[in-house]
Amino acid sequence: MQEYLKLDRILISLAGVFGAALMWLLSFKIVATWLGPEGVGLFSQFRQIVQAATIGATFGGTNAVVQGLAEKSDDIQRRHFRGIASRMIGLTGLLLALSIFIFAEPLTRFSLSSIDSDAVSAVRWLSLVVLLSVAGAYSIAVLNGYRSFHFLSVSQLAGPLALVIMLGAFYFFEVSYRPQILVWSFGLCFGVTFLCGAWGMSRFPKSSLELVAGILYLSEARSFLKFALSTMVAALSATVAMLLIRSWIIGERGLAFSGLFDVGWTLTFNYVTLFLTACNTIYLPLLTAAGSDEERRLCVLKTAYLVLLGCVLVCYFLAVFKMPVIHLLYSQKFELAGNVLVILSIAVIFRGVSWVYGTMILATRDARVLLVSDLGLNAVLLVMIWVSLQKYASLESLGWAFVLSNLIYLVFVVEYARYKNRLMLRREIWPLIIIAVLPLFLMEMKYQDSHLVHGVVPMLFLIAGLLMSLVTWNAYKKVAA
């Protein structure tokens, strides 16, 4: 548990993740100012396609590689593992990129509800972007697995910074807009990420070790695939679900409505996910290495309280100052997104805590539960979104679909954690969650008029958020003592 005391590692990791988050915010700001809601909708959907393909190629993201490297006891074993993982990931990435290139037209029709030649060409360019994204994700996973936080932070930050510079140049010099421009910007982003990651990996100790052949190689490959395939399906289900959701929204209400929804989703789920990614670089290896039920309990509770603290501070700030934040980070054209921001803030608090408890499934390598739980969560979400679009087709109804599905998942993972570790108690987390979200429910139900931003009522909610943060911090200190 001493890793929690290594503040320099935590700060370096957070600097990379949140520096990248800031650059992504700026990129959305440029696109919003330049192209409006439709541009943001298209930008987000392109990004979602790349993310889905990257998760598929890397067998669930960075976790499989990070855990595999963390479990190896020496550099020889690590180099064997890297050789196996890189070949599998590279081959899968190449196959997915070729598939996108070949089936660009039906993919465009499905994801963008369009067969415009420029849109098809942009999707075809995404095949190259996927290759660069997969390479960048692999390099970041290796840097994380080796605990090379300085190079990891540089790699995470450099790509989004290049994206902002390129988009800014297009906007400043009034380059004639084409959908391909957004895709080329992504290509530069992920290409720079990969180059920085490769630079970091080149600094590792050199070895003349050759990969073992025959049955040992196959055994290592099977070991990697056994759990990685489960994490891939679980992680891919979430990404594909969001791809489907955006496609349905675009098909039912158009790119502009999708852009408004994406503002609320990005300011809540997207950036909380980045925060959780930063926490994951410390939390997952610690939880995996915990040797007793009491150590696991303390690790889970510490992380849960810190994540809840961060979510409360951010969500209450967003809920109270939603219009100024939207004007600052996007533009006045996106004011309608404020209708869903408070609702998604409730959902994201559930999501943050459920991530902490759900990581126990990863740490214990319970592949079956991981697969069933994630597929179940996203199936429930998709059903609720479909009903919402058919019955109501409003931003608010979409937000409540996220709230209900994430609440169901939170109940499940808390009960799973209790089943695996009887030392963990419901009363250690549920009262804090209920107190955290109750003011947000009241704000949405009773005080959602935008003119109240300048009144005394929002300040009362902000004070409630600060008090809740103090309560959570006090709970953390008691556990950490």
Residue 319 is predicted with a pLDDT of 86
Q: How far apart are CA 280 and CA 356, in angstroms?
A: 9
Residue 131 is predicted with a pLDDT of 94
Answer for the pair 102, 26: CB distance below 8 angstroms, yes or no.
Answer: no
- 47: tokens are 């990004």
Angle at 30 between CA 26 and CA 32, to 5 degrees: 110
Residue 49 is predicted with a pLDDT of 92
Give the percent of the chain with pLDDT over 90.
Answer: 27
pLDDT-derived band of residue 141, with 50, 70 and 90 as boundaries?
A: confident
- In tens, the pLDDT along 52-73 reads 899 888 877 776 777 677 666 6
- In tens, the pLDDT along 202-247 reads 887 665 445 444 444 556 566 666 666 666 776 778 888 888 998 9
Residue 214 is predicted with a pLDDT of 43
Q: pTM value? A: 0.78
Residue 14 is predicted with a pLDDT of 67
Neighbours of 442 (CB within 10 A): 14
- Mean of the per-residue pLDDT values for the chain? 83
**Mean pLDDT value of segment 421-431:** 86
- In tens, the pLDDT along 149-204 reads 788 888 889 999 999 999 999 998 888 888 999 999 999 999 999 999 899 888 87
Q: How far apart are CA 342 and CA 446, in angstroms?
A: 12
Residue 47 is predicted with a pLDDT of 92
**Range of 120-134, 221-235, 371-385 with top mean pLDDT:** 120-134
Residue 399 reports pLDDT greater than 60:
yes
Residue 4 is predicted with a pLDDT of 41
Residue 450 is predicted with a pLDDT of 46
pLDDT-derived band of residue 367, with 50, 70 and 90 as boundaries?
A: low
The residue with greater pLDDT, 184 or 276, is 184
**Mean pLDDT value of segment 75-100:** 84
- In tens, the pLDDT along 444-479 reads 776 554 444 455 667 788 888 888 889 888 888 888
- In tens, the pLDDT along 333-362 reads 898 888 889 899 999 999 999 988 887 877
**Mean pLDDT value of segment 97-125:** 91
Residue 64 is predicted with a pLDDT of 72
Residue 447 is predicted with a pLDDT of 54
Residue 128 reports pLDDT greater than 90:
yes
